[in-house]
Amino acid sequence: MIRSTCPYCGVGCGVILSPAGHGLSVKGDPDHPANRGRLCSKGTALGETVGLSGRLLAPVIDGAGADWDTALDHVAARFRDTIAAHGPDSVAFYLSGQMLTEDYYVANKLMKGFIGSANVDTNSRLCMASTVAGHVRAFGADTVPGTYEDLDEADLVVLVGSNLAWCHPVLWQRVEAARAARGTRIVVIDPRRSVTAEAADLHLAIAPGADVALFNRLLAAIADRGLTNAAFLSHVTGAGDAIASASAEQGDTGLSPADLGRFIDLWCRTERVVTVFSQGVNQSSSGTDKVNAILNCHLATGRIGRPGMGPFSVTGQPNAMGGREVGGLANQLACHLSLENADHRAAVAGFWNAPRMAERPGLKAVEMFRAVAEGRIKALWIIHSNPAVTLPEADKVRAAIAGCDFVVVSDVTGATDTARLAHVLLPAAAWGEKSGTVTNSDRTISRQRAALPPPGQARPDWWALAQVARRMGFAGFDWDGPAAIFREHASLSGIAGRLGRDFDISGKAAISDAEYDRMEPFRWPCTTDRQGGRFFADGRFLTPDTRARMVPVTARAPAAALTADRPFRLNTGRIRDQWHTMTRTGRAPRLNRHLGEPFVEVNTADALKLGLAPFSLAEVSSDSGRAILRVIVTDRVPGGQIFAPMHWTGETAPTGRVDALVPAATDPLSGQPESKAAAVTLAPWAARWFAFAATCDVLAPSTPYWARRMTETGQAAELAAPAAPPEGTEAMARALFGLPDAQMIRSDDPARALTTLCFVTEGRVRALLFAGPAPVMAARDSIIARIGAPVGPASLAPRAGMDQPDEGPILCACMGVGRNRIAAAVAAGARDVATVASATCAGTGCGACRPEIAALIAATPVPAIAAE
Ligand SMILES: Nc1nc2c(c(=O)[nH]1)N[C@H]1C(S)=C(S)[C@@H](COP(=O)(O)OP(=O)(O)OC[C@H]3O[C@@H](n4cnc5c(=O)[nH]c(N)nc54)[C@H](O)[C@@H]3O)O[C@H]1N2
Ligand SMILES: Nc1nc2c(c(=O)[nH]1)N[C@H]1C(S)=C(S)[C@@H](COP(=O)(O)OP(=O)(O)OC[C@H]3O[C@@H](n4cnc5c(=O)[nH]c(N)nc54)[C@H](O)[C@@H]3O)O[C@H]1N2
Ligand code: SF4
Ligand SMILES: [Mo]
């Protein structure tokens, strides 16, 4: 039994791992302060993702297997030669908020202290950079003032641009528990009616990008009503200017005066208010201003750093905070020290004994890949990220990586859009196989511990980085394990502490390997005289004069203007059961059953106007690319706005790469791209042929549209094309399944206009294809369950027999309960979530599906008899 931390979101839940056969069994750690035993669907399914199929097991050089020695020598030589010929700024690292702190520390030390460039940036630029910039502007350091306990103790939780129920499910459970215990009110500010918005007391469907206008109105009202906190404002500068500019601005929020008034009243009269913010705030061309507009309101009222109140940035990735602590961004140094401060640089250079310190900020993510495209970056090492999918203008980024002289990718699999472009692939030890630390959203540092041996030649990322550093001739990279790196980082943080920085964990600088192994979760800072707690209630900030800054901010519209040609605003984000580019969650069949295909949500009126039928396919295009997505007609999105999730890739749905559509517009201060406000065209994609396929083998689709996923019995795919396959459906299917000679049974159902092909080996169903001229109406789960079963009369039917209920899409991933079963319980009279739970078990696991169950109940009319 090994205690570790979940590798997904920034909640940072503790898990208990028990090796079971070739896998792991995973349960919530009741003693971890972040989750107290709770887990969400993704955490619960972790054990299903650790299998070895698809794993990268050995280094690869130019497509051929190699050993580590050869690969590391090659990488070191190419980086050394490139630097010698073109200078240190001709190379770059692109890292990830999912790396462990120890991995991150080594990468940052190598680039900023020894190579002498600050061209090290990370996917946190796409994620947290606006918060970092906003925190630094207001507080003088990137400090999260509060703790998770504030969510338990708040009377009002305002979620701005956060789909907490899906993206931070365990925090959502804490908020729900607070609502049950103390009547905490929940307000959600989101242009889209997300499941979180659905569950809120008040949903403000704000106009995209209008958050600055909204919080300026709030600030003006705070001042008007005399609610500013004069005592606290003695620790703040800029209040007058910020209030004057907020009062002068009356920018449109898209909200009714009544809703606006309710929100302002609620915020003004509730002392214990936590304003949680996430990607609807950060991923914006005015992201930093949005952050400061929120911070301004908390500073003006002094509602910061005290129990149950404060601004709260929830971090996306498991170690977004750790990356910020080691200085993983191109404009940071280490331990919250500043790259642009000569004293800070000298202190770090001395500590590292660094021969060549970077002296100025490096390229931020979007600029970095632009420099790759222009040939200014000639050697690039990408670790733990998939930028060919997730950066804006992703098709251009993919082409830039493909054209780069030398690309190294460290990953757990070679089957990603980015890894496929690498000259050198390095096999990384995965979560569950490696050790280190991560910092969650509330500054709690927890251990990830290995429970399984790394397979094949897989090695941890820190080791590969240190090896390359040594082979480039650098001293100071000879740690014997993560504990030694952690101690070095902790010692450096002590120097930062003495320079007046907040991130100081020097209390741990002398721990032994055994103590590191046993280390319990702890919240920073951690010094001889301070341990954890909140920041700023005392009015002491980290600016030179110790006062906070209120920053005057003015609302700006999203960078991409809507035009007659590009009339729709494309919002993007996440779904409940998938993690980013699905390289791990996509391996757990039950996580693929909630929403199994790339889709676009379109408002009912827009769908009618454009002739987009439910479940048809739409083409979405922008100035930078195009995508083909399944249409979901819904009133969750307002007219003129559409929403598409970010998860699909060249591996899973080549026309579903949503970042191909997103323009590379960035916030001028943080460099964070505006991932949620592309201007796009939406039109029907004229498909005349549709199919659903399932097999126990690997699918090789080649139709113009396809999306595939792993299932309990193998793989399944949705296929479509403008016309029936020219080679004939059977020939297409044989190529798709790789079954040129297998026995086949065919059935044609003219009434349904559906053709079914069933491939049989040794009396068992090997593969099934259902095809016709309209979207295939067939029960996917029942078809998938037939794969591998003995062939019989029911094998070719599009639906299960009456005796075999079909689950439909899985709403409760923890308990495996489908929409149809829940709908049946509701139809049978269950009118609240608790009754549905006792009838079906749905909602009794992590609870993230409870808002969806509630919505299903609300949407189901009460039968006449029950209503009487
Ligand atoms: N299931 C799941 N959970 C995850 C992840 C995952 O991939 N899957 N990823 C993790 C990571 S790295 C991150 S960063 C977090 C992200 O967590 P969230 O930020 O909660 O997730 P998103 O879906 O990106 O965006 C949140 C909401 O912002 C809204 N929004 C769009 N534009 C605006 C706007 O102008 N103003 C406002 N107020 N809202 C707007 C969107 O409609 C969306 O509902 O999730 C983490 N958790
Ligand atoms: N349109 C749009 N785009 C977005 C966003 C959005 O909301 N909308 N959100 C942005 C945000 S907030 C984020 S955080 C990014 C995330 O974007 P990415 O970081 O690019 O996406 P991931 O799928 O998390 O990529 C992680 C990679 O690391 C690999 N990996 C897994 N474990 C290990 C390991 O132990 N070591 C190594 N070396 N590799 C490993 C995985 O296989 C995978 O290829 O996407 C951003 N892009
Ligand atoms: S909320 Fe879910 S994904 Fe996030 S850390 Fe906890 S178990 Fe993992
Ligand atoms: Mo993120």
Give per-residue pLDDT as tens, 507-532: 999 999 999 999 999 999 999 989 99
Is the distance from CB of 701 to CB of 690 less than 8 angstroms?
no
Closest residue by CA, ligand 3 atom 4: 9
Secondary structure of residue 442 in the 3-state scheme: coil
Q: What's the gap in Å between 96 CA and the centre of ligand 1?
A: 17
Which atom in ligand 3 lies closest to the alpha carbon of residue 8?
3
Q: What's the gap in Å between 643 CA and the centre of ligand 1?
A: 12
Closest to 246 (Cα-Cα) out of 554, 548, 549: 554
Closest residue by CA, ligand 3 atom 6: 13
Counting ligands in written order, the one closest to the CA of 123 is 2
Over residues 432-458, mean pLDDT: 97
Residue 495 pLDDT exceeds 80: yes
Q: What's the gap in Å between 99 CA and the centre of ligand 3?
A: 16
- Give pLDDT tens digits for 200-221: 999 999 999 999 999 999 999 9
Over residues 808-821, mean pLDDT: 82
Residue type, 24: L
Closest residue by CA, ligand 1 atom 38: 161
pLDDT of amino acid 805: 60
| Pocket (CB within 6 angstroms of ligand 2) | 96-98, 123, 126-127, 279, 283, 316-317, 383-387, 390, 410-413, 416, 428, 430-431, 461, 572-573, 580-581, 583, 646, 658-659, 662, 675
Q: How many CB atoms lie within 10 A of CB 383?
A: 23
Which atom in ligand 2 lies closest to the alpha carbon of residue 426?
38
User: Is the peptide bond between 525 and the residue preceding it cis, with omega within 30 degrees of 0?
Assistant: yes
pLDDT band at 866 (very low <50, low <70, confident <90, very high): very low
Determine whether the shortest distance from the Cβ of 574 to ligand 3 is under 6 A. no
Determine whether the shortest distance from the Cβ of 465 to ligand 3 is under 6 A. no
- Give pLDDT tens digits for 115-141: 999 999 999 999 999 999 999 999 999
- Give pLDDT tens digits for 824-836: 888 888 888 888 8
Determine whether the shortest distance from the Cβ of 324 to ligand 1 is under 6 A. no
pLDDT of amino acid 564: 98
Determine whether the shortest distance from the Cβ of 209 to ligand 3 is under 6 A. no
Give the whole-angstrom CA distance, residue 472 versus residue 480.
Answer: 18
Closest residue by CA, ligand 1 atom 46: 316
Give the whole-angstrom CA distance, residue 541 versus residue 808.
Answer: 53
Contacts of 754 (CB under 8 A, 6+ apart): 748, 770, 771, 772, 776, 778, 798
Q: Which residue has the tokens 């251009």?
A: 396
Which atom in ligand 3 lies closest to the alpha carbon of residue 171?
1
Which DSSP category does 25 fall into? E
pLDDT of amino acid 363: 98
* Domain annotation for the chain: domains and CATH numbers: 1-51 (3.30.200.210), 55-125+331-479 (3.40.50.740), 129-313 (3.40.228.10), 568-662 (2.40.40.20), 689-786 (no CATH), 810-859 (1.10.10.1100)
Q: How many CB atoms lie within 10 A of CB 214?
A: 26
pLDDT of amino acid 812: 84
pLDDT band at 663 (very low <50, low <70, confident <90, very high): very high
Q: What's the gap in Å between 151 CA and the centre of ligand 1?
A: 19
Query: Where is average pLDDT lowest: 198-212, 444-458, 592-606?
Result: 592-606
Residue 159 pLDDT exceeds 60: yes
Is the distance from CB of 271 to CB of 155 less than 8 angstroms?
yes
Give the whole-angstrom CA distance, residue 484 versus residue 489.
Answer: 9
Q: Give the mutation target among 16, 35, 431 for probing the ligand 3 site: most ligand atoms within 8 A of CB.
A: 35
Percent of the chain with pLDDT over 90: 86
pLDDT of amino acid 868: 32
Determine whether the shortest distance from the Cβ of 12 to ligand 3 is under 6 A. yes
- Give pLDDT tens digits for 350-374: 999 999 999 999 999 999 999 999 9
Give the whole-angstrom CA distance, residue 868 versus residue 858.
Answer: 18
Q: What's the gap in Å between 314 CA and the centre of ligand 4?
A: 10
Record the tokens describing residue 489, joined without a space: 């980082």
Which DSSP category does 791 fall into? P
Q: What's the gap in Å between 175 CA and the centre of ligand 4?
A: 21
Instruction: Say what the alpha-carbon torsion angle 603, 609, 615, 618 is, to the nearest 10 degrees.
Output: -100
Q: What's the gap in Å between 25 CA and the centre of ligand 1?
A: 29
Q: What's the gap in Å between 633 CA and the centre of ligand 1?
A: 21
Over residues 472-476, mean pLDDT: 98
Residue 596 pLDDT exceeds 50: yes
pLDDT of amino acid 255: 98
Determine whether the shortest distance from the Cβ of 279 to ligand 1 is under 6 A. yes
Determine whether the shortest distance from the Cβ of 501 to ligand 1 is under 6 A. no
Across all residues in the chain, what is the average pLDDT? Answer: 95
Residue 864 pLDDT exceeds 60: no
Determine whether the shortest distance from the Cβ of 317 to ligand 1 is under 6 A. yes
In a 10 Å sphere around its CB, with 0-12 CB exposed, 13-18 middle and 19+ buried, how is residue 121 labelled? buried
Which atom in ligand 3 lies closest to the alpha carbon of residue 5?
5
Q: What's the gap in Å between 439 CA and the centre of ligand 3?
A: 13
- Bridge partners (DSSP) of residue 760 are 743, 765
pLDDT of amino acid 798: 84
Q: What's the gap in Å between 416 CA and the centre of ligand 3?
A: 23
pLDDT of amino acid 18: 94
Closest residue by CA, ligand 2 atom 47: 390
Give the whole-angstrom CA distance, residue 370 versus residue 367.
Answer: 5
pLDDT of amino acid 433: 96
Closest residue by CA, ligand 2 atom 42: 583
Over residues 734-756, mean pLDDT: 95
Q: Give the mutation target among 29, 38, 170 for probing the ligand 3 site: most ligand atoms within 8 A of CB.
A: 170
Contacts of 724 (CB under 8 A, 6+ apart): 688, 689, 771, 773
Determine whether the shortest distance from the Cβ of 9 to ligand 3 is under 6 A. yes
Residue 862 pLDDT exceeds 80: no
Determine whether the shortest distance from the Cβ of 377 to ligand 1 is under 6 A. no
Give the whole-angstrom CA distance, residue 523 versus residue 325.
Answer: 13
Over residues 478-505, mean pLDDT: 96
Residue 472 pLDDT exceeds 70: yes
Which atom in ligand 1 lies closest to the alpha carbon of residue 208?
35
Closest residue by CA, ligand 2 atom 25: 385
Residue 801 pLDDT exceeds 70: no
pLDDT band at 865 (very low <50, low <70, confident <90, very high): very low
Closest residue by CA, ligand 1 atom 22: 573
Contacts of 593 (CB under 8 A, 6+ apart): 577, 781, 807, 809, 810, 813, 818
In terms of average pLDDT, the best of 191-200, 245-254, 789-798 is: 191-200
Closest residue by CA, ligand 1 atom 4: 167
- Give pLDDT tens digits for 370-421: 999 999 999 999 999 999 999 999 999 999 999 999 999 999 999 999 999 9
Q: Give the mutation target among 4, 11, 26, 578 for probing the ligand 3 site: most ligand atoms within 8 A of CB.
A: 11
Q: Is 663 left (phi over 0), alpha (psi -120 to 50) or beta?
A: beta
pLDDT band at 804 (very low <50, low <70, confident <90, very high): low
Percent of the chain with pLDDT over 70: 99
Contacts of 17 (CB under 8 A, 6+ apart): 1, 2, 3, 4, 24, 25, 26, 432, 449, 451
